[in-house]
Amino acid sequence: MGSQQDSDCLFSFLSAKDRDFLIRGNGDQVKIGTLSGKTLGLYFSASACGPSQRFLPLLLETHQELSSNGGFEVVLISSDEDEEPFNELFSKMPWLAVPFSDLDARASLKELFKVKATPHLVILDTQGNVSCSRGVKIVQKYGAAGYPFTEEKLNLLIEDQENAKKNQTLSSLLVSPTRDYLISNDGTKVWIPVVFLFSGCLLHLFDFVVSR
């Protein structure tokens, strides 16, 4: 009957015999029950892992874009063997983590979700069920546009891409689901329509010169 109790049951695999909380980078404890009603990303990572280091900025950007609606949370399950690199890695993250000291829980979660390599992002729906085990692929390719990161959403995005290929324009080739701009050589963002306007002027000038 109580939502707190239901949520604790849904995400009980994140807890331990003497622990019913996760932690933040500042040391605050967050009760697992507060995850009720959220889509959860279990992020398996390691500080010395090159692919994890390259993926982290993408996940940070995605998390930031989705943080305003409060419906998505990430939980770090670190593979680090030493606490110092764990603390350094976790300090860059705005989300939650299974405490480093709980080695048994971290190992059990890796086994439960059959994690063979990092980074690995498992998406759980609001009922605590695995909705997608290819979270890394979705975030890499679609960012926040992939939310809620389900297989159904992934298939829909793939279908949209295939339809877009059949009706390709220069604009569709230059943009992505999360970007409608280009970057100039000085790092400035240039809105796509401005590029087309400038390009169109150059084409008219070229036609004029050729015709003379």
Range of the domain at 204: 180-211
| Stretch 201-212: mean pLDDT | 45
Are residues 114 and 190 both part of a single domain?
Answer: no
Are residues 141 and 203 both part of a single domain?
Answer: no
Are residues 123 and 193 both part of a single domain?
Answer: no
Q: What is the pLDDT of residues 65-119, one digit of tens each?
A: 998 888 999 999 999 999 999 999 899 899 999 999 999 999 999 999 999 999 9
Are residues 44 and 113 both part of a single domain?
Answer: yes
- Quick check: is 11 in a domain? yes
Q: What distance lies between CA 43 and its chain's CA centroid?
A: 9
Count of C-beta atoms within a 10 Å radius of residue 59: 23
Q: What is the pLDDT of residues 140-195, one digit of tens each?
A: 999 999 999 988 898 899 888 888 777 766 666 666 666 667 777 777 877 766 54
Q: Give the residue from 86, 15, 95, 99 showing the smallest Cα distance to 45.
A: 86
Domain count, the chain: 2
Are residues 40 and 82 both part of a single domain?
Answer: yes
- In angstroms, the Cα distances linking 63 to 49, 71, 146 are 20, 10, 12
Banded pLDDT at 47 (limits 50, 70, 90)? very high
Are residues 84 and 122 both part of a single domain?
Answer: yes
Are residues 184 and 154 both part of a single domain?
Answer: no
The C-alpha angle with vertex 49 and arms to 61 and 116, in degrees rounded to 5, equals 100
Residue 132 has pLDDT above 80, yes or no: yes
- In angstroms, the Cα distances linking 76 to 26, 35, 69, 180 are 14, 14, 20, 31
Tokens at residue 155, please?
């298939």
How do 29-31 and 21-23 pair as beta strands?
antiparallel
- Quick check: is 199 in a domain? yes
